[in-house]
Amino acid sequence: MGQPGCPVCRLIRVEVRRFLDGLLYESSVDPASQHKFRASRGICNVHSQLLRETRGYSVPIATLYEAAIDELMQMTREGCKGFSLRKRGDGRQLSERLKPKRRCPCCVVTEEAEKLFAETFAEGLADPGFLQAFKNSQGLCLLHFRRLLEQNMPQQSAAQLLETQREIWGRLLVELDLFMARSGERGDGQPVGEEGTSWTRAVDTLGGLPGIFGNDYEA
């Protein structure tokens, strides 16, 4: 929690990266994994960005995507015979066949990790040291704050969660007000300090850290 952004988002991103490393290290030569990758049509747009950031796995990535694109080639090849966009419904039928048959595997990992970390976070609120670290942090993103509110936790822990998150939001509001007062044409001309990043932190507070909530994520 000493690092920027929602701690649950950060931990989820670690888990998704670990999953991708395993997928690329072992599964690129595993027929069963390639079959699943074909069925999911790769991974979703959001998590594809994490895949692009992965270094040293260009050949395994190519191997997996070759399998997925070959699947599309086979499906469209079968549809070429007698296919015409002029025929009512032909395009819609082919489009339906090309839809992913499995969810993005990274989105599945995200939801599994999120459940575990939310439960662990809820348990941690009973520990004074954990609670103090939470108070000193930048807080949870809105979605993971909601996830914590849904946990079955003691009333005192739930009250601490709500009070602490409100304190964190309050500090952020003060910084946003100060940033706006010192910036722009109507600014007071005073140097902008740490509050200069308040607007980016506000974006992360409501939307979560980048690359976490994929296209197949079930909010």
Q: Looking at residue 214, what is its pLDDT?
A: 92
pLDDT in tens, 19-65: 998 888 877 778 888 888 999 999 999 999 888 888 788 888 998 89
Give the per-residue pLDDT at 89. 65
Per-domain boundaries in the chain: 7-105, 118-207
Q: Look-up: residue for tokens 């939307």?
A: 207
Q: How far apart are CA 207 and CA 184, in angstroms?
A: 25
Q: What is the pLDDT of residue 183?
A: 78
Minimum mean pLDDT range among 100-114, 118-132, 186-200? 186-200
Please give the model's pTM, rounded to 2 decimal places: 0.85
Judged against a pLDDT cut of 70, whether residue 135 lies above it is answered with: yes
**pLDDT above 60 (res 82):** no
**pLDDT value at 13 more than 80:** yes
Q: How many CA atoms lie within 13 A of 136 on its CB side?
A: 9
Name the residue among 80, 89, 51, 84 with its Cα closest to residue 68.
Answer: 51
Residue with tokens 């895949």: 51
Q: What is the mean pLDDT of residues 80-93?
A: 64
Question: How many angstroms separate the CA atoms of 130 and 64, rounded?
Answer: 41
- Alpha-carbon distance of 141 to 209, in angstroms, equals 8
Q: Which pair of tokens denotes residue 172? A: 């952020």
As a whole number, mean pLDDT of residues 61-89 equals 76
Average pLDDT for the chain: 88
